[in-house]
Structure 1
Amino acid sequence: MPAPRALQDVLTAITANAPAWPLCGATVHQAGAGFRLPTDQAVQQTYWQPNARGKIHALVADCDAVDPITRVLQGHAPAPNAVVWNMNNDHGHALYLLSEPVGRGGRSSARAVEYAEAVWDSIDQALQADLHYTRLLSRGPLAPGHLLEIVRPELYDLHELARALRLPQRTQQPSRAQRQAASAADSRNRALFDSVRQLAYAHAHLTDLARYALLERHAQTFNQALAQEHPRGALSASELRSVVGSVNRWTGRNQGSLRPRLAGAVDRSRQHSRERQSAAPAAVQRARQADAGRMTAERRAEQTRQALRAGVAQLQSQGAPVTAAALVAVTRLPIRTVYDHSDVWNV
């Protein structure tokens, strides 16, 4: 266990150059949507923003798939100042703290920022960290269920860290942005889509117009956070409209109760193309379509009968006679449909 003094010194170094009101929250979506708290409260949230918009002082590596301490002991990387461990799954965020923050934006030196980013890229390579990590949010060092482990109390000078990483040799390799672009789609779009999708599912009961207005406001707030904090800035207005419109249309079409699934059926939309099995034989597909058609017909028939029962109850409460014409006026169902289900009301 580190001495209490070392623990306090590192915690002070983590928060000293952080934003006064960092983005934070219990989930990535909450933090990315613009929720903020004072620094002393933000570090107690599951996710928080360690670097201010105008400076870099904490180089954070997302080590969900690898143990950073093992990589250090094997000689692949210098020791981080601290690791914030998620005690539920042993995932960790390794933190390298700079004694002198590097300014970015405004009148800051572009070469200094590129140098700091190159060091950060080298840390990711040395630790085999997640290349999809956006470098905006980190695990809260004092969040419940998390452990702050001090590895090296002394802060790093950027040049010292570059020498330990052998930066001159590593700068010849593709940049982090190039590797990300080659391996995955733009994380800004993915993050926005996931955030909007979660909100849409939670408000599927709203009308399409009301839900669209809610999603549009949320997307604009999310985009403002990207403009302030993401290295690549905000998304365009057309991209926002595309994401919001797509999610809203899908939610509107599927906002009913969870649809029953056929036994053994697989949702191919949730599988990567490389993992999908080949299409079933034509006979099997026809049988599945027939079963699905029967299920749909049964579900619609039951919805119709429920509407007729509700119409009967309404007419009886009003003291009106229960007739086919009256049910058509109350339920707005076709007269043929009302007669097809006469056993519900003509008793």
Structure 2
Amino acid sequence: MGCVKLFEDYLPKRPYHTDDLTNGLKINKKEKAKLARLIQPNGPTHRYWMVFDLDRTDAGMHWDTVGAPPPNLIARNPANGHAHLLYLLQTPVRTAIDGKTAPLRYAAAIEAGLRSLLGADRGYSGLICKNPINSHWIVHEWQADPYTLDDLADYVDLTPEKAKQNAVEEYGLGRNCMLFDELRAWAYKAIRQGWPDYNQWLNACLHRATGYNINFTTPLDMSEVKHTAKSVAKWTHRNFNRGTFDDYVARTHTSRIQAIRGKKGGKANGKTKREQGIAMLQSGASVQQIINKLQVTKKTVYNWKKST
């Protein structure tokens, strides 16, 4: 199945879309929205695609120049060469509060690293992108298979363990992490101040989340903010009461300590896995030797071979 077909399959049920941003965004069922030039690629609960906005005339091949992974799809403007680069994730990252936070942080750090490597627009919100289904754009499919997060991590200057532990910058998925962290930290304390009923609590969480969001340089779409607020409100109201709160805090603290333990890896002698792998290829090492030593996938090594 081609990536354009997967793009269509993974569209939200009612995505934002438009033919012209000056006319604003509309919401319609997928069957109608998919005909527009610009469309929302990801819903509020799952991230299937990492999308980067390159405002340069050589955007279609710039990824190769800087040693970035081949995009699954590129949708390029025929008038000026500007493009959106789309990377498909093998396992979508759940951005809702009930998802695991470690994959979200890991994905956010990788996304920020790729943005820096590509020199992509920091102000791009990621809400909508050039629609590869629409014939207005020049569309190329460079990579047929979806990427794992570890595949993409091989191209950026970070270790998986460090990315899972550390805070990430205010960009893309990083905003989801920051909104989660700030809203949950507030909610864990605020719900104890009177133990409000659910509707009062939901309104309070939404008000607080909206306040955090407007402080972002590029705010999240309100649908994501509302979903996050509803998830936090629902989860905390269901799980927190006077009898269970102290026990929950103790268990969560222990789980976090366990989650950040493990082997160190990813960099050696100041080099990323990609740099090490290319050096090994140039010295005559086999693909299997590189896989065994660096613990990467065969697809990653073959992508490195293309760049040498």
TM-score by length of 2: 0.52
Q: Confirm whether residue 229 of structure 1 aligns to residue 220 of structure 2.
A: no
Question: Does residue 23 in structure 1 map to residue 20 in structure 2?
Answer: no
Contact kept? 1:43, 1:141, Cα under 8 Å: no
Q: Distance in 2 between matches of 1:233 and 1:30?
A: 28
Q: Give per-residue Cα distances to partners, 1:171-200, cap 9 Å, x unaligned.
A: 599944179xxxxxxxxxxxxxxxxxxxxx
Considering fraction of residues, name the structure with more helix.
Answer: 1
C-alpha separation in 2, matches of 1:61 and 1:71: 12
Aligned to 1:319: none
Distance (Å, rounded) in 2 between the aligned partners of 1:81 and 1:144 = 17
Please tell me whether the aligned partners of residues 31 and 48 of structure 1 are also in contact (alpha carbons under 8 angstroms). Answer: no
Give how far 1:88 is off. 2.0
The answer as to 2:94 corresponding to 1:106 is no
Structural mapping, 1:82-231, within 5 Å? 82-168=73-159, 175-177=168-170, 226-229=221-224
Contact 2:96–2:227 (8 Å) recurs in 1: no
Equivalent in the alignment of 2:7: 14
RMSD between superposed Cα atoms in Å: 3.3
Q: State the one-letter code of the partner of 2:100.
A: S
Asked if structure 1 preserves the Cα contact closer than 8 Å seen for 2:4 and 2:73, the reply is no
**Percent of aligned pairs with the same amino acid:** 23
1:61–1:129 CA contact under 8 A, matched in 2: yes
- 2:51 matched residue in structure 1: 60
| Bigger Rg, structure 1 or 2 | 1
Specify the SS of the correspondent of 1:95. strand
Aligned length: 182
Tell me the secondary structure at the aligned position of residue 152 of structure 2.
helix
Q: Is the 8 A contact 1:131 1:176 kept in 2?
A: no
* C-alpha distance in 1 between matches for 2:14 and 2:108: 24
> CA–CA distance in 2 between the matches of 1:110 and 1:231?
18
Residue 81 of structure 1 contacts residue 155 of structure 1 at CA under 8 Å; is this kept in 2? Answer: yes
**Are the counterparts in 1 of residues 63 and 69 from structure 2 also a CA contact under 8 Å?**
yes
Choose between structure 1 and 2 for higher RCO, CA contacts under 8 A separated by at least 6 residues. 2
Asked whether the 8 Å contact 2:112–2:171 carries over to 1, the reply is no
Separation in 2, partners of 1:178, 1:120: 8
Unaligned runs of 5+ in 2: 173-213, 215-219, 230-308
Residue 70 of structure 1 and its aligned partner are, at CA, apart by 3.3
| CA distance in structure 2 between the partners assigned to 1:12 and 1:104 by the alignment | 23
Separation in structure 1 between the aligned mates of residue 171 and residue 84 of structure 2, nearest angstrom = 23
The answer to whether the 8 A contact 1:65-1:129 is kept is no
Q: Any unmatched runs of 5+ in structure 1?
A: 1-7, 180-222, 235-347
